[in-house]
Amino acid sequence: MTPAKFEPGDRVRVRADGQPGHVRTPGYVRGKTGRIERFLGAFKNPESLAYGGSGLPEKPLYKVGFRQTDLWDGYAGRTQDALYIDLYEHWLEPA
Partner 1 sequence: MTGVHDLGGSPGAGPIDKSQHDTEDWERLADAVTVALDKRGIKTTDEHRRAIESLDPKRYRKLGYYERWIAATELLLVEKGILTRKEIDQKAAELEERWG
Partner 2 sequence: MSSDAHHDIDHKHEGVKPSAEAGRHAARIRAIEALLVEKGVLAEEDVRRQIEYMEANSPANGARLVARAWVDPGFKALLLSDTKAAALELGIDASGPVEFVTVENTPGVHNLIVCTLCSCYPRAILGRPPDWYKSMEYRSRAVNEPRAVMREFGLEIGDDVEVAVHDSSADVRYLVLPMRPAGTEGMSEEELAGLVTRDCLIGVSVPSFEGARTDAPGTANPAPRR
Indicate the burial class of 3 (C-beta count within 10 angstroms; 0-12, 13-18, 19 or more): exposed
28 interacts with partner 1 by CB under 8 A: yes
Residue 45 Cβ vs partner 1, minimum distance, rounded to whole Å = 9
User: DSSP per residue over 77-90, as a string?
Assistant: S-TT-EEEEEEEGG
Q: Of partner 1, partner 2, none, which one sits near residue 76, judging by CB under 5 to 8 A according to partner kind? A: partner 2
Residue 26 binds partner 1, judged by CB under 8 A: yes
State the number of binding residues for partner 1 (CB under 8 A).
15
**Which stretches of the chain bind partner 1, using CB under 8 A?**
18, 21-23, 26-28, 46, 49-52, 55, 71-72
